[in-house]
C-alpha cells in the first residue's frame, strides 16, 4: 500500500515516523506493507527537518493523490483539507483523516456512492480510544441507544485541576504550559471540540452528520471555584459531558455534576472516556488518552490497516504503465524503463506494461513495405508492423528480468486482445484479462505488446497509428485498474508542441473532451481513440516523462470550469485542401459531393463554398493527407460537375483548444487579430465550443503557433 501524507505537523510527522521506523513490524503483524510514497506540507522547511527524501515530496495535492493508494489528511482546517479529501475520493482513493471539524461539518458531502468504504476517521473522535472501530465493527449489529462521555482532554484537565483548588484562569494557563491547550483555547473551552465529536459519532450511526449547529453546546468558561466547591460539598464532581440520545434524537455538550458511582467519575486529567449503551449488551466503556500526537497517530495507522483491506480489493495497486517508442528506442532507455518498473514494484504497485515499437521502427517498416509494393496488402502490412512491438516487449521483459524480477512478454494474441479483421485500423471487440491477471498473481510483470490485435481466427491486426495508447487504456479497463500511466519523452501534455514553442508548459490536468480535441487537432501525445475510450469508461490517464520525476498531466473528468479557458494551441500539417472549381450553383450538388466522399470512406474536416461568379461556385474542403489516396478524383469531378479539381498541399490547420471558447467572441477575435498582426492570411475557419481552427499557409506554422501561444499567455499557466 502506498501511503500519501498531507500535513507534517505533530500528528502527520508522527505517522511518517511510525510508518518509516516500524514498517517491517507492521508488515509482519498485518501481512501488509505500507510505505510512504509521497508527503506534502505547507512549510517547506519541514522536509529537511524531518529528513524526507526529495522524491517523496509531492508537488501538489494531485501529485500526492495519484501516487498513493491511501491519502492521510492531517492538515486540519476545512478549506484545503476539504479540497484534498474530495479530490482523493473522486480519484477513487481511500482517505484517512483526523479532522473532526471537516467530518462533522462536511462529512455529508463525502458520502460516496462507491460500494467500497473509502473514508476513515477514527482519529477524529477518540484519539487513542478506538470508539469508531467499536461502533462500526464489533457493535455493528447492535442498536445503539446512547453515547455519553468525556470527549475533551483539555477541559477535563482544567476541571480536574480546579477540583484540586486552582482557579479557572490558573488551570487554563497550566494546561497551555503542558501543551494540553492551544494558545487560543476557545474551541475546547466553549465545548465546540466535543460537539464536533458528537456530530461525527451521530454520523457513524445514522449516516448523516448533523453538524454542531444542531447540538446544544455549553462550555466551561463560566464555571468558577465556587461552583466546584459547592458540588464537592454535596459529594459531586463537575465534568464536561457530551451525550447523544438516539432514542430521543437529542445531543448536547454541557457541564454536569456527576455522582460518585458514575463510571465517568474517576476519569481525571487529560483522559477521555466514552460509554456506549446498546440494546443487546448494555453498557460498554472505553477509556484512555484522547489526544496527543502518539495516540492520534496510532488511530491513523490502525485506520490505514483497516482501509488497506478495502483498498486492496479495489485493485488500485494494478497500474498500467505504457511506454511509447521514444521511451524505449535504445538499450539504455530500456534499462531505464526496467529501473522505473522496479521502483514501482518496491512501492507496492503491481505494474502491467504496454510497450510500443522502438523509436521510429513503425515508420521504418512502412518505408520498407513501400519499397516492395506501392499498395501493400493489408494483412501482410499488419503482419510486418506487428513485429516492431514483438521485438520491444521481449527486450523490455529481459531488462526487467536482469534486475531480478519475474517478467513475461505477451503478444496481443497471448494477452487475448481480440479485434475485428479491419487490417491497419482494427477495432477491439473483446479482451480476456484472466491470463494477464494470473501472471500478476504469480508475481510476474506482464509486458504486453501495444498496437497489435488478433482476430478470432488468429490473424494479426493493428489498431492504427499511436494504437499502443488504446491497448493501454483498454487493458486498464479490463483489469479494473484505476490509473493508466502513459510514459513519453516529454513532461506531459503541453500547451503547445514543445518542439515548436520553446516556452510551452505542461498542463496539470485536462478533461477527456479537451484531450480528444487536442489529439484530433494534431498533438501526438495520446491517440484520440484512446482518449475516447478512457472517457467512456472513466479511466484516468496520467501522462508522464519516462526519464524524470515530473508530476505529469492528469486526464480525467476534469474540474468544472465555466469561464472560457484556452488550454493549448496545436498544428496539423498532415492535411490537404481539395478545391472543386466552378461547380454549378444548383441545389443538390453539395449533397452529391458529400455522398461521394462517404462512399469512398474519405473523412472531411472543414468545408466552404464561396466566390460565387455567374452560375458557378467554388467548393473546398480539407482531408487528412493519408486519405487522399482513397479519393477517386475522376468520380468526384463528374458527380459534382466541377470544371476542375485542384489539390493544395502547402496548408496547415492551427487550432486553439479549451473550454467554452465560443461563449465570448473575444477569444476568436484575439486569435484572428494575432494572425493579422503577423501578416498571416486565414484561408478557412471553423469553430466549436471546445476549439477554433484556422487553415493557413504551411510555411507560417511556427510563427503562428508561437504568436498565438503568447497572445493567450499560455507560457504562464501554472
Using DSSP's 3-state secondary structure scheme, residue 571 falls into: strand
Mask: binding to ligand ASP, 265-304, rule CB under 6 A, as x and -?
Answer: ----------------------------------------
> What is the number of other CB atoms lying within 10 angstroms of the CB of residue 169?
10
Mask: binding to Mg ion, 406-445, rule CB under 5 A, as x and -?
Answer: ----------------------------------------
Kindly state the smallest distance separating residue 666's Cβ from Mg ion, in Å: 35
Q: HSE (CB half, 13 Å, CA atoms) of 302?
A: 20
Residue with Cβ nearer ligand ASP (36 or 328):
328
Residue with Cβ nearer ligand ADP (209 or 323):
323
Is the separation of the CB atoms in 301 and 32 below 8 Å? no
Burial of 43 (0-12, 13-18, 19+ CB in 10 A): exposed
Residue 139 makes CB contacts below 8 A (sequence gap 6+) with 276, 278, 284
Kindly state the smallest distance separating residue 466's Cβ from ligand ASP, in Å: 4
- What cell does 573 get? 500539417
Chain centroid to CA 569: how far? 24
User: 490, 608, 654, 692: which one contacts ligand ADP (CB under 6 A)?
Assistant: 490
Kindly state the smallest distance separating residue 593's Cβ from Mg ion, in Å: 34
Dist CA 87 CA 95 (whole Å)? 10
Dist CA 287 CA 276 (whole Å)? 11
> What is the number of other CB atoms lying within 10 angstroms of the CB of residue 456?
11
Residue with Cβ nearer ligand ADP (490 or 671):
490
User: 180, 494, 512, 533: which one contacts ligand ADP (CB under 6 A)?
Assistant: 494
The verdict on 466 binding ligand ASP (CB under 6 A) reads yes
Mask: binding to ligand ADP, 554-573, rule CB under 6 A, as x and -?
Answer: --------------x-----
Find the part of the chain contacting Mg ion (CB under 5 A) among 21-29, 197-205, 231-239, 319-327.
319-327
Q: Is the dihedral of CA 555, 80, 7, 298 positive or negative?
A: negative
The verdict on 467 binding Mg ion (CB under 5 A) reads no
User: 467, 522, 552, 658: which one contacts ligand ASP (CB under 6 A)?
Assistant: 467
Kindly state the smallest distance separating residue 393's Cβ from ligand ADP, in Å: 15
Query: Which among 83, 69, 9 is positioned nearest to 34, based on CA atoms?
Result: 69
| Helix (H) / strand (E) containing 132 | helix 131-133
Kindly state the smallest distance separating residue 407's Cβ from Mg ion, in Å: 23
Kindly state the smallest distance separating residue 548's Cβ from ligand ADP, in Å: 14
Kindly state the smallest distance separating residue 357's Cβ from ligand ASP, in Å: 4
User: 92, 468, 519, 655: which one contacts ligand ASP (CB under 6 A)?
Assistant: 468
- Give the Å distances, CA to CA, from 9 to 15, 50, 168, 177, 220: 10, 11, 29, 19, 28
User: 4, 324, 388, 446: which one contacts ligand ADP (CB under 6 A)?
Assistant: 324
Find the part of the chain contacting ligand ADP (CB under 6 A) among 293-301, 383-391, 487-495, 665-673.
487-495
User: 324, 351, 446, 506: which one contacts Mg ion (CB under 5 A)?
Assistant: 324
Query: Which among 312, 297, 159, 302 is positioned nearest to 239, based on CA atoms?
Result: 159
Kindly state the smallest distance separating residue 684's Cβ from ligand ASP, in Å: 28
Query: Which among 35, 92, 99 is positioned nearest to 66, based on CA atoms?
Result: 92
Q: Which partner in ligand ASP, ligand ADP, Mg ion, none is near 362 (CB below 5 to 8 A by kind)?
A: ligand ASP
DSSP code per residue over 205-224: HHS----GGGSEE--STT--
Buried b (16+ CB within 10 A) or exposed e, 234-262: eebbbbbbbbbebeeeebbbebbbbeeeb
Kindly state the smallest distance separating residue 326's Cβ from ligand ASP, in Å: 9
Using DSSP's 3-state secondary structure scheme, residue 708 falls into: helix
Q: How many residues bind ligand ADP (CB under 6 A)?
A: 19
- Give the Å distances, CA to CA, from 497 to 116, 529, 569, 703: 41, 20, 8, 13
Count the helix, strand and coil residues of the chain and give each as a percent rounded to the nearest 5: 40, 25, 35
Kindly state the smallest distance separating residue 439's Cβ from ligand ADP, in Å: 24
Q: Which partner in Mg ion, ligand ADP, ligand ASP, none is near 130 (CB below 5 to 8 A by kind)?
A: none
The verdict on 357 binding ligand ASP (CB under 6 A) reads yes
Kindly state the smallest distance separating residue 460's Cβ from ligand ASP, in Å: 14
The verdict on 519 binding ligand ASP (CB under 6 A) reads no
Is the separation of the CB atoms in 563 and 350 below 8 Å? no
Dist CA 410 CA 407 (whole Å)? 10
Kindly state the smallest distance separating residue 365's Cβ from ligand ASP, in Å: 9
Residue with Cβ nearer Mg ion (8 or 396):
396
Kindly state the smallest distance separating residue 493's Cβ from ligand ADP, in Å: 5
Find the part of the chain contacting ligand ASP (CB under 6 A) among 109-117, 460-468, 479-487, 495-503.
460-468
Strand 144-150 and strand 237-245: pairing? antiparallel
Q: How many residues bind Mg ion (CB under 5 A)?
A: 2
Kindly state the smallest distance separating residue 529's Cβ from ligand ASP, in Å: 11
Q: Which partner in Mg ion, ligand ASP, ligand ADP, none is near 467 (CB below 5 to 8 A by kind)?
A: ligand ASP
> What is the number of other CB atoms lying within 10 angstroms of the CB of residue 81?
22
**Full strand arrangement of the beta sheet holding 684-688:** 565-572, 651-659, 691-697, 684-688
User: 12, 255, 348, 466: which one contacts Mg ion (CB under 5 A)?
Assistant: 466
Torsion of CA 687, 693, 694, 699, to 10 degrees: 180
Q: Which partner in ligand ADP, ligand ASP, Mg ion, none is near 623 (CB below 5 to 8 A by kind)?
A: none
Q: Which partner in Mg ion, ligand ADP, ligand ASP, none is near 488 (CB below 5 to 8 A by kind)?
A: ligand ADP
Query: Which among 276, 104, 130, 121 is positioned nearest to 194, based on CA atoms?
Result: 104
Using DSSP's 3-state secondary structure scheme, residue 562 falls into: coil
Find the part of the chain contacting ligand ASP (CB under 6 A) among 175-183, 292-300, 355-363, 409-417.
355-363
Q: Which residue number is nearest to ligand ADP in terms of Cβ?
A: 324
Burial of 552 (0-12, 13-18, 19+ CB in 10 A): buried
Using DSSP's 3-state secondary structure scheme, residue 666 falls into: helix
Kindly state the smallest distance separating residue 469's Cβ from Mg ion, in Å: 6
Give the single-character DSSP code of 138.
I
Residue with Cβ nearer ligand ASP (237 or 529):
529
Find the part of the chain contacting ligand ASP (CB under 6 A) among 54-62, 296-304, 466-474, 705-713.
466-474
Query: Which among 292, 305, 288 is positioned nearest to 120, based on CA atoms?
Result: 305
Kindly state the smallest distance separating residue 327's Cβ from ligand ADP, in Å: 6
Mask: binding to ligand ADP, 496-515, rule CB under 6 A, as x and -?
Answer: xxxx----------------
Q: How many residues bind ligand ASP (CB under 6 A)?
A: 13
Dist CA 570 CA 705 (whole Å)? 7
Find the part of the chain contacting ligand ADP (CB under 6 A) among 6-14, 259-267, 303-311, 521-529.
521-529
| Helix (H) / strand (E) containing 569 | strand 565-572
The verdict on 326 binding ligand ADP (CB under 6 A) reads yes
Number of alpha helices (DSSP H) and beta strands (DSSP E) in the chain: 24, 31
Dist CA 580 CA 574 (whole Å)? 20
Sites of contact with ligand ADP (CB under 6 A): 324-327, 356, 466, 488-490, 493-494, 496-499, 523-525, 568
Chain residues in the site for Mg ion (CB under 5 A): 324, 466
List contacts with ligand ASP (CB under 6 A).
Answer: 324-325, 356-357, 362, 388, 450-451, 465-469
Amino acid at each position: 500500500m502506498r501511503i500519501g501524507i498531507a500535513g507534517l505537523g505533530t500528528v502527520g510527522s508522527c505517522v511518517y515516523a511510525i510508518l518509516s521506523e516500524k514498517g517491517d513490524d507492521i508488515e509482519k503483524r498485518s501481512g501488509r506493507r505500507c510505505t510512504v510514497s509521497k508527503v506534502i506540507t505547507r512549510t517547506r522547511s519541514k522536509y529537511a527537518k524531518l529528513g524526507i527524501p526529495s522524491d517523496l515530496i509531492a508537488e501538489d495535492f494531485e501529485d500526492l493523490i495519484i501516487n498513493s493508494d491511501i491519502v492521510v489528511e492531517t492538515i486540519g482546517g476545512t478549506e484545503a483539507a476539504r479540497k484534498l479529501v474530495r479530490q482523493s475520493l473522486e480519484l477513487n482513493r481511500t482517505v484517512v483523516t483526523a479532522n473532526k471539524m471537516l467530518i462533522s461539518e462536511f462529512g455529508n458531502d463525502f458520502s460516496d456512492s462507491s460500494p467500497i468504504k473509502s473514508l476513515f476517521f477514527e482519529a477524529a473522535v477518540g484519539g487513542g480510544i478506538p470508539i469508531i472501530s467499536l461502533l462500526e465493527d464489533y457493535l455493528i449489529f447492535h442498536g445503539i441507544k446512547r453515547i455519553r462521555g468525556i470527549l475533551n482532554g483539555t477541559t477535563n484537565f482544567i476541571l480536574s485541576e480546579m477540583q484540586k483548588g486552582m482557579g479557572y484562569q490558573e488551570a487554563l494557563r497550566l494546561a497551555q504550559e503542558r501543551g494540553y491547550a492551544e494558545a487560543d483555547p476557545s474551541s475546547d473551552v466553549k465545548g465546540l471540540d466535543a460537539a464536533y465529536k458528537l456530530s461525527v459519532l451521530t454520523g457513524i450511526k445514522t449516516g448523516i452528520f448533523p453538524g454542531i449547529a444542531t447540538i446544544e453546546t455549553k462550555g466551561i468558561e463560566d464555571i468558577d471555584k465556587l461552583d466546584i466547591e459547592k458540588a464537592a460539598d454535596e459529594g459531586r464532581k463537575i465534568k464536561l459531558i457530551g451525550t447523544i440520545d438516539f432514542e430521543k434524537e437529542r445531543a448536547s455538550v454541557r457541564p454536569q455534576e456527576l455522582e460518585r458511582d458514575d463510571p465517568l467519575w474517576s476519569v481525571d486529567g487529560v483522559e477521555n472516556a466514552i460509554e456506549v449503551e446498546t440494546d443487546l449488551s448494555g453498557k460498554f466503556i472505553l477509556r484512555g488518552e484522547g489526544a496527543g500526537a502518539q495516540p492520534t497517530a496510532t488511530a491513523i495507522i490502525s485506520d490505514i490497516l483497516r482501509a488497506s483491506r478495502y483498498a486492496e480489493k479495489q485493485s488500485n495497486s494494478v497500474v498500467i504503465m505504457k511506454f511509447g517508442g521514444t521511451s524505449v528506442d535504445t538499450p539504455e532507455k530500456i534499462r531505464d524503463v526496467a529501473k522505473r518498473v522496479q521502483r514501482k514494484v518496491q512501492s507496492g504497485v503491481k505494474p502491467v506494461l504496454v510497450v510500443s515499437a522502438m523509436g521510429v521502427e513503425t515508420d521504418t517498416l512502412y518505408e520498407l513495405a513501400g519499397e516492395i509494393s506501392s499498395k501493400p496488402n493489408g494483412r501482410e502490412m499488419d503482419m510486418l508492423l506487428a513485429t516492431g512491438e514483438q521485438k520491444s516487449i521481449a527486450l523490455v521483459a529481459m531488462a526487467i528480468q536482469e534486475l531480478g524480477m519475474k517478467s513475461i512478454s505477451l503478444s496481443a494474441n497471448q494477452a487475448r486482445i481480440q479485434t475485428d479483421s479491419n487490417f491497419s485500423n482494427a477495432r477491439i471487440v473483446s479482451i480476456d484479462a484472466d491470463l494477464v491477471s494470473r501472471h500478476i498473481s504469480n508475481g510476474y510483470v506482464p509486458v504486453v505488446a501495444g498496437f497489435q490485435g488478433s482476430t478470432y481466427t488468429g490473424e494479426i491486426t493493428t489498431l492504427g497509428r499511436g494504437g499502443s495508447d488504446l491497448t493501454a487504456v483498454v487493458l486498464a479497463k479490463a483489469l479494473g485498474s484505476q490509473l493508466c500511466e502513459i510514459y513519453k519523452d516529454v513532461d506531459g501534455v503541453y500547451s503547445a508542441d514543445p518542439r515548436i514553442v520553446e516556452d510551452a508548459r505542461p498542463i496539470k490536468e485536462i478533461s477527456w473532451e479537451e484531450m480528444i480535441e487536442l489529439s484530433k487537432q494534431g498533438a501526438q501525445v495520446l491517440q484520440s481513440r484512446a482518449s475516447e475510450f478512457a472517457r467512456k469508461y472513466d479511466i484516468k490517464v496520467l501522462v508522464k516523462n519516462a526519464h524524470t520525476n515530473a508530476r505529469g498531466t492528469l486526464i480525467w473528468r476534469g474540474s468544472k470550469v465555466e469561464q472560457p479557458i484556452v488550454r493549448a494551441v496545436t498544428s496539423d500539417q498532415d492535411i490537404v485542401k481539395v478545391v472543386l472549381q466552378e461547380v454549378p450553383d444548383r441545389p443538390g450538388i453539395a449533397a452529391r459531393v458529400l455522398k461521394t466522399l462517404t462512399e469512398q470512406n474519405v473523412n472531411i474536416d472543414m468545408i466552404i463554398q464561396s466566390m460565387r461568379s455567374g452560375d458557378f461556385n467554388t467548393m473546398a474542403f480539407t482531408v487528412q493527407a493519408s486519405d487522399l489516396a482513397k479519393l477517386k478524383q475522376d468520380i468526384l469531378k463528374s458527380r459534382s460537375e466541377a470544371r476542375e479539381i485542384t489539390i493544395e498541399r502547402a496548408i496547415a490547420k492551427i487550432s486553439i483548444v479549451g473550454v467554452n471558447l465560443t461563449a465570448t467572441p473575444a477569444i476568436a477575435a484575439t486569435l484572428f487579430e494575432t494572425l493579422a498582426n503577423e501578416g498571416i492570411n486565414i484561408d478557412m475557419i471553423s469553430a466549436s465550443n471546445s476549439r477554433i481552427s484556422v487553415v493557413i499557409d504551411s510555411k507560417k506554422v511556427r510563427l503562428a503557433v508561437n504568436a498565438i501561444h503568447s497572445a493567450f499567455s499560455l507560457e504562464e499557466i501554472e
